[in-house]
């Protein structure tokens, strides 16, 4: 069965610092990859997605992620974080089996200090 | 604001109560989902409905009973819950491929 690992459980950054959150998955076939974000007190929402094509994908609010197939990774990046980026970030994978449902990673809590 | 509406937002129930959670979407999605989320944990899939038919049941205890009356509505009937069932229950809808999900704000459930 597929799994998703997020090794950074809690990240604390100062405003304007650069961000990279790690995400690794275990599955040998075709995958679709996602990052979802949950701001404090708000619903989960899609940040960005990768289906195929250019492995560097751009999402909302200046976030981007790079799919590196050889490393089974889909790391999330942002050049300069803001206090409003404080949230929980979940990486998720959808695999090419009949089970059409996301598998989520354990999440990374990002705290941006002003 | 999310386009998936869940009611109620908060629910407190005793272990002998029967209650229902409701979810509604009008985006024309034909797949609807129930997830359970404990504090500081990722969402855990409970059920998936595709074209109003139950397609995935993640071995959820029978005290949780899902229902999909039509393509816009999803219910979760609760009966004889345990305190460990206290959690945020999230509804989501999406296309039939399963990845692009729109989540509701959830129902925060406390079982006493």
pLDDT for A14-69, tens place per residue? Answer: 999 999 999 999 988 888 999 999 999 888 999 999 999 999 999 999 999 999 99
Query: Of B31, B56, B90, which has the smallest distance from its Cβ to A44's Cβ?
Result: B90
- Assign B97 a pLDDT band (cuts: 50, 70, 90): confident
Could you read off the pLDDT of A60-84 as tens digits, one per residue? 999 999 999 999 999 999 999 999 9
**Is there a contact between A106 and B42 if contact means CB atoms under 8 Å apart?**
yes
C-alpha dihedral over B42, B28, B77, B6, to 10 degrees? 60
Q: How far is CA A13 from the centre of its chain?
A: 17
Question: At residue A70, what are phi and psi to the nearest 5 degrees?
Answer: -65, -25
Residues listed for chain A: 114
Q: Taking a contact as any Cβ pair under 8 Å apart, which residues of chain B between 19 and 78 contact chain A?
A: 31, 33, 40-45, 48, 50, 55-56
**For residue A1, pLDDT beyond 80:** no
């Amino acid at each position: 069965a597929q799994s998703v690992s997020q090794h950074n459980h809690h990240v604390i950054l100062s405003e304007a610092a650069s961000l990279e959150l790690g995400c690794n998955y275990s599955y040998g076939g075709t995958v679709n990859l996602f990052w979802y974000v949950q701001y404090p007190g708000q619903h989960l929402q899609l940040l960005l997605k990768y289906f195929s094509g250019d492995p560097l994908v751009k999402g909302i609010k200046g976030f981007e992620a790079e799919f590196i197939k050889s490393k089974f990774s889909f790391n999330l990046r942002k050049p300069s974080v803001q206090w409003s980026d404080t949230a929980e970030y979940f990486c998720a994978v959808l695999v090419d089996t009949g089970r059409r449902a996301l598998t989520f990673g354990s999440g990374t809590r990002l705290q941006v200090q002003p | 604001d999310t386009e998936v509406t869940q009611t109620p937002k908060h629910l407190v129930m005793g272990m002998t109560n029967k209650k229902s959670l409701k979810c509604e979407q009008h985006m024309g999605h034909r797949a609807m989902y129930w997830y359970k989320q404990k504090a500081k944990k990722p969402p855990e899939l409970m059920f998936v409905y595709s074209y109003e038919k139950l397609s995935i049941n993640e071995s959820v205890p029978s005290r949780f009973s899902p229902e999909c009356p039509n393509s816009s509505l999803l219910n979760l009937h609760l009966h004889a819950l345990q305190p460990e069932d206290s959690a945020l229950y999230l509804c989501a809808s999406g296309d039939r491929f399963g990845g692009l999900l729109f989540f509701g704000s959830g129902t925060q459930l406390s079982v006493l």
